[in-house]
Amino acid sequence: MQGRKFSRRSLRNLAKDLRRRGHRASPTTVGKLLHEQDYSPKANRKRYASTRPPDRDRQFRYIARQKRAFLAAGLPVISIDTKKKELIGNFQQRGRRWCQEAEAVNTHDFKTDASAQAVPYGLYLLNQNRGYVRVGVSASTAEFAVDTIVSWWQAEGQQAFPHAGRLLILADGGGSNGSRPRL
């Protein structure tokens, strides 16, 4: 046993494996024997970074140059992303409020008990260090992302940047910001 790695198995399953091999041992005994050999339960620890694609730094330097150029020219630079989805319904919320009686809420936050799911989509304007959030009640889709940008542009963007012929949009590559949606 010494020096071997065990798969993620419970003491009960290890004891069953030993029984199948003709050794009688309870889970408690297995645990004692493992501790005597300096084994203990441990979680994985992230230590190894994957190799970086050679063009990764070049890509980020290009984005940084674009961002500096747009900001220097007074053109809008926005960063967009979907935020944490929230269930809408009779659920417990963090914090406290002054009242005479606590409000009764559901014991569990099951999605099936929700009347809807709010999907906040965040837009951050780097030029002015300002945020804009639009909340929808459907999934985070490419259409919702585009609608959020259009809504911001019509409500604030075109007033703040009346002569802008271009807009730089910074987004990660996941979800509605993915490279596959064509909107």
Indicate the pairing of strand 116-125 with strand 86-88: antiparallel
Largest alpha-carbon pair distance within the chain? 82
Q: Is residue 133 part of a domain?
A: yes
User: What is the rounded distance in angstroms from the CA atom of residue 134 to the CA atom of residue 83?
Assistant: 10
Same domain for 28 and 74, yes or no, is: no
Q: Is residue 79 part of a domain?
A: yes
Same domain for 115 and 32, yes or no, is: no
Q: pLDDT tens, position by position, for the chain (183 residues)?
A: 444 555 667 889 899 999 999 999 999 999 999 989 888 888 788 877 777 777 778 888 999 999 999 999 999 999 998 877 887 877 777 777 677 777 787 777 777 877 788 888 889 999 999 999 888 876 667 788 888 899 999 999 999 999 999 999 998 766 555 556 555
State if pTM tops 0.95: no
User: What is the rounded distance in angstroms from the CA atom of residue 145 to the CA atom of residue 138?
Assistant: 12
Per the CB < 8 A criterion, the answer to whether 171 and 82 are in contact is no
Q: Is residue 139 part of a domain?
A: yes
Q: Is residue 148 part of a domain?
A: yes
Q: Is residue 167 part of a domain?
A: yes
Per the CB < 8 A criterion, the answer to whether 80 and 177 are in contact is yes
Same domain for 17 and 79, yes or no, is: no
Domains of the chain: total: 2
Same domain for 33 and 61, yes or no, is: no
Encoding tokens for residue 168?
Answer: 């730089």
Range of the domain at 27: 9-42
